[in-house]
Amino acid sequence: MIHSSRSMLLPLIYLFAAMISIQGGATLAKQLFPIVGVEAVTAYRLGFSALILLLVFKPWKRKLQVGYRRYLVLYGIALGTMNFLFYQSIKTIPLGIAVGLEFTGPLAVALFSSRRKIDFLWIFLVVAGLLALVPLTGNSDLDITGVLYALGAGVCWAFYIIFGQKAGNYYGTATVAIGAAVAAVIYVPIGVASGGIGIFAPEYIPMAITVAVLTSAMPYALEMMALTRMPAKTFGTLTSLEPAIGAVFGFIILSEVLSIVQIAGIIAIILASLGASLSSQKQIETVKTID
């Protein structure tokens, strides 16, 4: 028992470090928006993380199957657009709310792939959470454009999962590096067009690399190390806490105070994500037992 507890401690540290890195990087990115602009920060994240991931995974050493390259392109487009829309969202709405709204994307993928009756409860919690975050009365102080950006990022996250799985089946670890490169090819020029070549001035490079490392390179590596050392059910359950971590970082670093109703909405989405993760894993285990 002691050995089992110790063996789980390291991957837990990896996973929580990854989530903290992502949200910490998001707070830094948001602080850079007034200086260089959202498009430039997106270019930083995608451009430098693509360089790092290409150097780490060296996809040119792998033989790429020609017939499935479209999945790589679609994965890269989804990855880049997800990041771009998410940064647009946190420009005007609190980080915790943006992460909560974005989480509806992977939640939808999990729920649509399941047919268990219990999943109706998770759907109810998602709807309740969304209504708490974005009241239909229109009296919310949330910027509706930011909300739509966050939901759009969630849609892209869903496509990121779908196309990432398809591409990953054929290209393995090369998928994330090539996908990041595709995203960079699209969004780095947009950043330059918006902010000019001056966004890559020497004084900005350290911040740019820091954003890329914290939001992409480091968490990707940490998540991979965690996933190979813990059950997928545990991994999925714990990552459901990310909206809460985002809310805490937003409060501590960005002074973003949420209302009780908004906190309740984030909790509802977290519970739905936890439930969907656990029930989908049980469904997989049931199918394996039947087989």
- Per-residue pLDDT tens digits for 174-231: 888 899 999 999 999 999 999 999 999 999 999 999 999 999 888 887 887 787 777 7
Residues whose CB is less than 8 angstroms from the CB of residue 62 and which lie 6 or more positions away in sequence, other chains included: 171, 172, 174
Provide the pLDDT for residue 1: 44
Interatomic CA distance for residues 212 and 217, integer angstroms = 6
Tokens of 84: 């771009």
Provide the pLDDT for residue 243: 92
Q: Are 68 and 113 in contact (CB under 8 A)?
A: no
Between the CA of residue 37 and those of 2, 15, 182, what are the distances in Å?
50, 30, 21
Indicate the number of domains in the chain: 1
Provide the pLDDT for residue 107: 82
Provide the pLDDT for residue 19: 92
- Reduce the DSSP state of residue 172 to 3 states and report it: coil
Q: Are 73 and 170 in contact (CB under 8 A)?
A: no
Given a cut of 50, the residues of the chain with pLDDT beneath it are: 1-4, 283-291
> In terms of residue numbers, what domain contains 208?
2-290
Provide the pLDDT for residue 3: 44
